[in-house]
Amino acid sequence: MSERRLADLAPVARLSGARVLRGGETLIDGLTLSVPARGVLALMGPNGAGKSLTLRLLAGLVRPQAGQADWDGAPLPPRPKVALVFQRPVMLRRSVRGTLTHALATYGVPRRERAARCDALLRLGRLEALAERPARWLSGGEQQRLALVRALGAEPRLLLLDEPTASLDPEATAAIETLIRQAAEAGTSVVLVTHDPGQARRLADRVAFLHRGRITAEQAAEDFFAAPASAEARAYLDGRLLL
């Protein structure tokens, strides 16, 4: 979708001057960020910059002590469906199929629809051959695929992904990237935390760069990689920035 069309749609979520303090330390420092209704927004920045906390703010799991978070322009529920996939997915003591069926039940999918929806998610994640295996026995890449299709089963409007391919090999990474691309093409707005500039180039429409709890650059992905708008982002891409 063109940059112009993306900008025409109201943001699905927005942080305005959000501040998060813990133990006297400012972790998120007056952060303002709009998540477009469509496309992939990559959130980049050094370790400890506040990327995961920003995802939690966007998920409504953390409330800002100052400033505001809103979804579809409203600060209170009903919110659009938001799904958050953590850096290390938590797997239940269930089979792969059991994991998905259980998730569909918690999403309120009627019992009679669950088996077909589960099969569709297994196909999407290329997990059919592993369906009866305990989820905790899966490899890291397989668990990430399962976590991602489990989240997609909720049919979220906003999908928040925290380094979904950290420590995966190139093939597993490609499989996850395909799932992310498919979700975005189907109309889900995606916020992707990544340390991998190659991945951001491949997937992102926009990039927001975070440093010490503040956004220092927020640009179309092409522009960000051609001419990052902040000194911190330039230093990060050159491998020179530490928090």
Binding site for ligand ATP (CB under 6 A): 22-23, 27, 45, 47-53
How far apart (Å, rounded) are the C-alpha atoms in residues 61 and 47? 21
Nearest distance, CB of residue 82 and ligand ATP, angstroms: 17
Nearest distance, CB of residue 235 and ligand ATP, angstroms: 16
DSSP secondary structure letter of residue 16? E
Nearer of residues 49 and 149 to ligand ATP, judged by Cβ: 49
Query: Amino acid identity of 230?
Result: S
Nearer of residues 36 and 50 to ligand ATP, judged by Cβ: 50
Taking alpha carbons only, the member of 152, 156, 102 closest to residue 123 is 152
How far apart (Å, rounded) are the C-alpha atoms in residues 215 and 228? 12
Cα dihedral sign for 78, 26, 227, 169? negative
Nearer of residues 56 and 157 to ligand ATP, judged by Cβ: 56
Residue recorded with tokens 């109201």: 10
Nearer of residues 11 and 45 to ligand ATP, judged by Cβ: 45
CA atoms within 13 A on the CB side of 73: 2
Nearer of residues 109 and 147 to ligand ATP, judged by Cβ: 147
Query: Amino acid identity of 192?
Result: L
Which residues are within 8 A (CB) of 195 and not within 5 positions of it... i.e. 6 or more apart? 44, 163, 166
Nearest distance, CB of residue 46 and ligand ATP, angstroms: 7
Nearest distance, CB of residue 142 and ligand ATP, angstroms: 22
Nearest distance, CB of residue 51 and ligand ATP, angstroms: 3
How far apart (Å, rounded) are the C-alpha atoms in residues 5 and 219? 15
